[in-house]
Chain A
C-alpha cells in the first residue's frame, strides 16, 4: 500500500503570507495526486487534481506541483477564508490513501 506523508501537521500564518504544504508518497505515483480543503463540519472539497490542475471555480492563489514521490501545495496570498484543513490523496494505486492533513490557522 502507498503511504502519504504530509507536513507540517499544523501551520500558523498571517493574511497575505505564502503558505506551502508538502506531501511525500512512499512510491512513485506519477502525477496522480489530489488536494482537498475541509472546513469544520463540512465535507471535503476538491481543489486540485492531477497534481496541478485547479478545479473549476478555485481561486488562482492555490497551486500544486511535483511528480513521482514529492508534491507541493501552495497558497500564494493567504486569505481568512482559507482557514481549513488540507489533505493530499493519491489515486495511482488501490487502496487510495490520504495524507494525515495540515491544519491551517491565522496568526
Chain B
C-alpha cells in the first residue's frame, strides 16, 4: 500500500544539522508533492516547506529560509529535509506528507513522524 516511512529519532546539539529522510513505498516519489510539517510538544502544526519531486522545485516558510533544505533522490524513492543551525526550540516531531493522492491538494499520506531533540 501507499506509505511514507521516515527515519528514526535523532538527538542533536545546538548548532548542529539534522537530515530526516522520507521513503515512499507503493508509488513513485515523483508522482506527488511532498510537504514537511513539524509539531513541538503540545503545540500546533507548522508548515515548513514543499517540494515537487518531479521537477525538484521547492518552497519554504519564511521562518526557515536559509536554514532548511528539501531534496530528493529519485533512484531510491526518498525525500529529505535538512535543518541546520539547530536551536533548542527546533525540538519537535517532523512529518513528511504527500499531497494529492485522493484529493486536489490535501496532505493525504503522512509519514509516522521523526522526533528531533536538540539539547546540549
Contact = CB atoms under 8 A, between A and B. Distances in A.
Contacts of B106: 34, 46, 48-49, 55, 91
A3 to B, nearest CB: 12
Contact of B103 (A1, A49, A100): A49
Residues of A in contact with B, size category: 20 to 34
Interface string A31-48: 010101010000111101
B53 interface: no
A32 B60 CA distance: 19
Interface residues of B, number: 26
B113 A87 contact: no
A46 B62 contact: no
A101 B45 contact: yes
B107 A98 contact: no
Interface in B54-78: 59-62
A7 to B, nearest CB: 13
A44 B50 contact: no
Contacts of A46: 103, 106-108
Contacts of B110: 43-45
15 contacts: A36-B107, A43-B110, A43-B113, A44-B37, A44-B97, A44-B110, A46-B107, A49-B103, A49-B106, A55-B106, A87-B45, A95-B59, A95-B62, A97-B47, A98-B46
8 nearest A-B residue pairs (beta carbon)? A49-B106, A49-B103, A43-B110, A46-B106, A94-B59, A101-B44, A95-B61, A98-B45
